[in-house]
Amino acid sequence: MTHAYPPIVDLVPHRPPCLMLESIESWAETGLVCRARCRHDSPFRLGSQVPAYVALEIAAQAAAADQALRLRARNRTPAEALQGFLVNAWEVVLPPGALPNDVNLNVRVTLDATAGPLASYGFEVSGGPTFAVSGRLSAMTAAPDRVFPS
For residue 112, which of 103, 121, 102, 104 has the smallest C-alpha distance?
Answer: 121
Q: What is the pLDDT of residue 148?
A: 44
Query: Mean pLDDT in the chain?
Result: 86
Whether residue 64 has pLDDT greater than 60: yes
**Can you tell me the mean pLDDT for 69-76?**
81
Whether residue 20 has pLDDT greater than 90: yes
**Can you tell me the mean pLDDT for 117-139?**
92
112 vs 110: CA distance, rounded Å: 6
**Can you tell me the mean pLDDT for 55-74?**
91
Kindly report, residue by residue over 74-114, the tens digit of the pLDDT: 876 655 556 778 999 999 999 888 887 777 899 999 999 99
63 vs 140: CA distance, rounded Å: 9
**All domains of the chain in start order, with CATH:** 8-142 (3.10.129.10)
Please state the pTM of the whole predicted model: 0.89
147 vs 110: CA distance, rounded Å: 25
Q: What is the pLDDT of residue 107?
A: 97
